[in-house]
Amino acid sequence: MKAAFANRLWLFTSYRAARDFHSASHYVAETQSHILQTYLARNHETVYLAQNALQLPLTTYEDYLPYIERIANGEKNMLTAEPVQLFELSSGSTSASKMIPYTRTLKTEFGRCLSSWITDLYTHHPALVTGPAYWSISPLTEGRRHTSAGIPIGFEDDSEYLGPFGTWIESALAVPNSVKHIRDGSAFRYVTLLFLLKCKALRLISVWNPTFLTLLLAPLSQWWNSLLKDIANGFITPPAAIEENLLRSLKKKLKPDVQRARELSKIKPHDYAAIWRDLMLISCWADGVSETYAKELQIKFPGVIHQPKGLLATEAFVSFPLTGKTGGALAVTSHYFEFLAETGDIFPAQSLEKDKTYSVVVTTGGGLYRYQLNDVIKVTDYYNQIPCFNFIGKADCTSDYFGEKLNEQFVANALAQLLKKHHLTPVFLMLAPEDTGDFHYTLYIEIPQMPTNLNTELDSILRENFHYDYCRKLGQLGMAQVALVRNGSENYIRACHMRGQRLGDIKPSVLQKSTGWMKWLE
């Protein structure tokens, strides 16, 4: 079977990176020091290091803008001695998209971490090797752009994160990568579902956001009969048009399968366990705000292993899951890491304490030095000397129009208390500012029934934040409101997509800093 051969080849080529990671788990300080010294030695003649030779400061994206603009215009030796192969766009969930430089070294670092994860995953779950997988594919919102110097902007698709393995495992994919070229959202979903339904032997589903999978599956009942007919006949009849050449290419990969269509006709569209009897594992975000949506997936896919992804940012591969460990293991062989404590002290990787929270600072082969990711983590476990941790939230996500300084972590904790009091498990939950006459915050929540006085209780618990309370007393902010919504996740993702984000990049957020969400959420 082609899928099994491709997966075994991937596993074989990943062993070395996994072995190096295991060895490094006993020598974290030495491993991290070697990585840092290698960066400094390779890039010591770059413009950035020459200007910061005496001391490397903590940095944010804004510190790199002048260098990135010069790289985009064709100048060399700015941040790294090796050339920039492309700029990848950040998710841009709370700010304008950032262009992150990708070098060959940075791609190798991502691949090194991915190899360690794949080896652990396939070694502990060997049956995964024997069948196809669905790796998140996002439709391209626009053609690939380039800088004035011809440097590409953005990966072609999500699978490019797999590095050189992306082309190798094409035969192990349940859904062909060319689906990414379908621009219409409904047609993209239809064709993706068509290939997934046809893939009886599906073993693994890997997506970023759990709501991506939930929304992908949502129209299954509506399209069920049409999908089964297409499977039987080898046709593709989506609800919206697909470019003719692309449609012909996709049809070549879809042979008629009357037997599979007959099997599915005896199954209900929402019985996912019966549709994919061999599905073993779903990998998705399950920390922070994603936890609620990941639990929803667990209900939809009983009996399937649900493995939380580690912490992966556009700028760096921070951690990945290890079987038997709570939280993701720090990718100590990929980049150089430091951790900023609430006290302002900075700690190396080997000095983190269990149950303590830190903000991640990273130096990478892409030319970011002591870069503050603003991802807050909590240490949960250890793999030898390597800390394992969960993602808590973003340190820099603060809504502050009048000095109210509402931070995402405070909001998440406050809402958790409110939900616990009323025994609520919302399908969707988000707090956002609204400027509709009086400026106030609105909690958009998707639940069967609204408890009485929830808005009063919401405002009261938010006023435990001194700055928010002060703004309320001054009359700068009106009382917080609660709005009951329908299809919250779907409409939220649609809004983010319309603002230019790729579907696979969209993350749930308990706090939004921008206004205007009322028009998007029903």
B/e letters for 370-391, b = 16+ CB within 10 Å, e = fewer, are: bbbbbbbbebebbbebbbbbbb
Highest mean pLDDT range out of 222-231, 248-257, 421-430?
222-231
pLDDT bin (cut points 50, 70, 90) of residue 158 is low
CATH 3.30.300, applies to 398-519: yes
The total of other beta-carbon atoms located within 10 Å of residue 421's CB is 12
Mean pLDDT taken over the chain: 89
Strand ranges across the sheet with 428-436: 428-436, 438-446, 481-484
Q: What are phi and psi of 335, to 5 degrees?
A: -135, 180
Q: Which of the four pLDDT bands, split at 50, 70 and 90, describes residue 261?
A: very high
pLDDT band at 7 (very low <50, low <70, confident <90, very high): confident
Q: Which of 17-31, 288-302, 312-326, 490-504 has the lowest mean pLDDT?
A: 490-504
pLDDT of residue 159: 55
Domain with CATH 3.30.300 in the chain: 398-519
pLDDT value, residue 94: 37
- Sequence-ordered list of residues with C-beta below 8 angstroms from that of 300, at least 6 positions apart, any chain: 214, 217, 270, 272
HSE-up of residue 460 (Cα within 13 Å, Cβ side): 7
Give residue-wise pLDDT tens across range 203-239.
999 998 787 888 889 899 999 999 999 999 999 999 9
The pair phi, psi for residue 67, each rounded to 5°, is -70, -40
- Average pLDDT in the 450-477 region? 87
Kindly indicate the confidence band of residue 476, based on its pLDDT and cuts at 50, 70 and 90.
confident
Provide the token pair at 134. 């669905």
pLDDT at 95: 39
The rounded distance, in Å, linking the Cα atoms of 453 and 242 is 49
- DSSP state, residue 208: S
